[in-house]
Amino acid sequence: MIAITGANGNLGKATLAFLLKKTLPGNIVAIVRDAGKLSEYIGSGIHIRTADYEDQQSLEKALKGVHRLLQISASATGVRAMAQETRVVQAAVRCGVKEIAYTSTLFPHESAHFHAAHICRNTEELIRQSGMRYVLFRNSMYHETIPLFIGEAMGDGRIFYPSGSGRVSFASRKDIAEALSNVLTGPTFNNATFDITGAETFSFADIALTLKDIAGYHDAAHTDISPEDYRKGLLGFGLGEDEAGFYASMADSIRAGEFEKTHHSLEGFLGRKPLGVQQYLKELF
C-alpha cells in the first residue's frame, strides 16, 4: 500500500487526486489528523487513517501494512517540526515501510538562511540512515507562495519585499503533486535526490513586471525594503516572533540566492513543461 501524510493539505490532496488516476483506491492510505477533512473520500475505497505527528503510537498504527510512504514535510516550525518529522521516519522504520519519498526544500544546507531548511536537512539525513529506499524531492518555492509574499501588491503591483535581486525557480504545487504521484506509482526507489524547480527563475522585480503585463498595473514595481522593516511589518500584522522570523528567513534565503537553482527533473517526471509563473498569475486574474 502507498501512504501519504498530510493527505488533506494542499499538496497531499492534490497528490491523492493524481494517485487515484493511477492506482486503485484500496492501494492508498491517506493519513490525516482529522478524517472529517477528507470527507469527500469517505466511502471511496481509500483507507483513511488518523494520526498526529505528535503521537508516535498513532503514526505506527496508521503505517501498518504500508510499503511506500510519501512523507510531506511538517507545517510546524522549529524544534517542534524537527521532532514531528523524526517521529514519522521512526514510525516508518518500525512499521517496516520499505520505500519513502520526502518533500524537502531546495537548499537544505547547514548554511541556509531559511529556517525550514534545517528541519529538512535533519529529516533527509534520518531517511538516508534509515535503511529504507528513498526519493528526496528538494522543492523550490510553490507558485502559490507568490500572493502570500506580495500581499496587497496582487491588487496594484507595488511589491515591498526584502528579497534584493534574489531569484526564485518557482514551481507549481499541482505539478509537484503530479510528479510525486508518478514516483509513488513508479519503479523501485533508488535513493535519489531531485531538485524540483520551475524551468525559469524570477526576481520580485520580474514578478512586478509580469503583473504590469497581465493586470495592467502602471505603478507595478519591486521595492527592496530592509529585512528589519519587513520583520517589524509582520509583527505589526499580529504575527508572533517565531512566525515573523520564519517568514523573514524565507526572504533572507531568496536574497541569498538559495532558491535560484533550476533543474529539468520536474519536466522529466511530468513528461511536459512545468506550469510557468506567468501562466499561474494569469489564471489568478
Ligand X SMILES: NC(=O)c1ccc[n+]([C@@H]2O[C@H](COP(=O)([O-])OP(=O)(O)OC[C@H]3O[C@@H](n4cnc5c(N)ncnc54)[C@H](OP(=O)(O)O)[C@@H]3O)[C@@H](O)[C@H]2O)c1
Contact 16, 4 (CB under 8 A): yes
Cβ neighbour number for residue 236 with a 10 Å cutoff: 9
Query: Distance between CA atoms of 150 and 158, rounded to whole angstroms?
Result: 8
Determine, following the binding rule CB under 6 A, whether residue 139 of this chain makes contact with ligand X: yes
Site string for ligand X, 72-91 (x = CB under 6 A): xxxxx-------x-------
Contact positions with ligand X (CB under 6 A) in 92-131: 103
Could you say which DSSP state residue 26 is in? G
**Stretch in the footprint of ligand X (CB under 6 A) among 1-9, 159-167, 221-229, 231-239:** 1-9
Sign of the four-CA dihedral 158, 160, 165, 169: negative
Side chain identity, residue 241:
E
Residue 133 makes CB contacts below 8 A (sequence gap 6+) with 98, 99, 100, 188, 189, 190, 191
Count interface residues toward ligand X (CB under 6 A).
Answer: 23
Among 54, 228, 242, 283, the residue binding ligand X under the rule CB under 6 A is 54
Q: Which residue, 70 or 217, has its beta carbon nearer to ligand X?
A: 70
Q: Which residue, 9 or 227, has its beta carbon nearer to ligand X?
A: 9
Query: Distance between CA atoms of 95 and 56, rounded to whole angstroms?
Result: 11
Q: Which residue, 83 or 235, has its beta carbon nearer to ligand X?
A: 83
Nine-digit cell string for 246: 520564519
Q: Which residue, 105 or 217, has its beta carbon nearer to ligand X?
A: 105
Residues in contact with ligand X by the rule CB under 6 A: 6, 8-12, 33-34, 37, 52-54, 72-76, 84, 103, 139, 141-142, 145
